[in-house]
Amino acid sequence: MEVKVIKNEIVLFENQDVKLEVNMKDETVWLSQQQMALLFNSSRTNIIEHINNIYSEE
């Protein structure tokens, strides 16, 4: 796994299967639903389901 910080705003995450450029603001990494699906080798629909479950627990 390789992680590079570019201009303190974009992080490049790369391993043998996935290469993602993600936004970083105030030490928080921001990913789109599609990026999360790629990162976790899942579907966007599954990511949405998990996000909805998180919000329904509050």
- Residue 26 CB partners (closer than 8 Å, separation 6+): none
| pLDDT tens readout for residues 4-47 | 655 567 778 888 888 888 888 877 888 999 999 998 999 999 99
Q: Are 21 and 29 in contact (CB under 8 A)?
A: no
pLDDT at 8: 60
Q: Is 15 exposed, middle or buried (0-12, 13-18, 19+ CB in 10 A)?
A: exposed
d(CA 10, CA 24): 6
Domain chopping of the chain, boundaries? 2-56
Q: How far is CA 57 from the centre of its chain?
A: 21
pLDDT at 17: 84
pTM over 0.85: no
DSSP annotation of 16 reads S
pLDDT above 80 (res 1): no
pLDDT at 53: 94
